[in-house]
Amino acid sequence: MKASTTGELYAAFMQEIKQRIGKVERIIVEVAHRPEGEEASYLVELAHLQIRFICELTALASLAAHNSYGIRKDLLKKWHADIIFDELERINPHSFPVPVRATVGPDGVYQFQPAKERRLSRAHLKQIYGNCGRLLHRGVLKHTLQGRERTYDLNQVAAWLKQLYGLLAEHMILLPKEQQVLMVNLIDGEGGRVQVAKAVSDGPFAVSPDFRLGHKDP
């Protein structure tokens, strides 16, 4: 992954998220059709890993969006989503993605309203991240000796995926220091590419004419 601007780097992270979302969708369909057997367990484990990656990529993308804030060198080396989001909250309380619903008026001006029904809090994302991490560990010997088997809930994986997609499909990040808003759309871009645009946050703004609207459930 190599990008020359903040927007390009953010888009690259989001493009990887989009690909991993597609992978989890395919796993859910495959396991739903063949839920029994060892292979199904391995696939569900892979789905948990992809969900965890999506959480980490969301954190890394948010960190990249704040590159102009003078991020400490040690933070640039972090990968753990919890640590990154905790540090970003100190730098910018508005650093977490906010899902939006976009419309364009007859004058060509875009209006973005928070989509409260798709809101996912930072605490909830960290909870998803932690739960996936725990489920990816083999467990302790005590549980094995007691005959306790690990179980996975495919419905829970599907619910997490829907929540993460709802958060990211169309979202914004507020950058008060730059007086800008980072607008992001995971769908409807040319060739399926993620779209990212920067806009001035204190009034109407212009975006690229090929920036398209839409939200689709995974």
| Residue 216 domain-assigned (yes or no) | no
The identity of residue 132, as a single letter, is C
Could you tell me what percent of the chain has a pLDDT over 90? 38
Query: What is the number of structural domains in the chain?
Result: 1
Mean pLDDT confidence for 89-113: 84
- List, as one string, the DSSP characters of 162-182: HHHHHHHSEEEEEEGGGTEEE
Q: How far apart are CA 82 and CA 171, in angstroms?
A: 20
Selected residue with higher pLDDT from 206 and 54? 54
Q: 213: helix, coil or strand? A: coil
Q: Does any domain span residue 210?
A: no
Indicate whether 206 belongs to any domain: no
Contact 97, 171 (CB under 8 A): yes
Predicted TM-score (pTM) of the model is 0.82
What is the pLDDT at residue 29?
95
Q: Give the pLDDT of residue 208.
A: 44
Residue 104 β-bridge partners:
110
Q: Is 18 inside any structural domain?
A: yes
Give the mean model confidence (pLDDT) for residues 79-84: 80
Within-domain flag for 20: yes
Query: Does residue 59 lie within any of the structural domains?
Result: yes
What residue spans of the chain are helical by DSSP H? 6-33, 38-65, 73-76, 81-91, 122-135, 141-145, 154-168
Backbone φ and ψ of 172, nearest 5°: -135, 155
Task: Please tell me the predicted confidence (pLDDT) of residue 153.
Answer: 85
* Sequence-ordered list of residues with C-beta below 8 angstroms from that of 160, at least 6 positions apart, any chain: 51, 128, 132
Looking at 10-24, 63-77, 87-101, 146-160, which range is the least confident one?
Answer: 63-77
Residue 212 pLDDT: 47
What is the chain's Cα-based Rg? Answer: 19
Give 74 or 116, the one with higher predicted confidence: 116
Look up residue 203 and give its two tokens: 């009034």
| Domain, as residue range, for 138 | 6-200
pLDDT: which is higher, 71 or 203: 71
For the four alpha carbons of 127, 129, 132 and 134, in that order, the dihedral sign comes to: negative
| Any domain includes 172 | yes
Rounded CA-CA distance 125/52 in Å is 10
What is the pLDDT at residue 159? Answer: 96
Does residue 51 lie in a domain region?
A: yes
Please state, in angstroms and rounded to a whole number, the distance separating the CA atoms of residues 121 and 123.
5
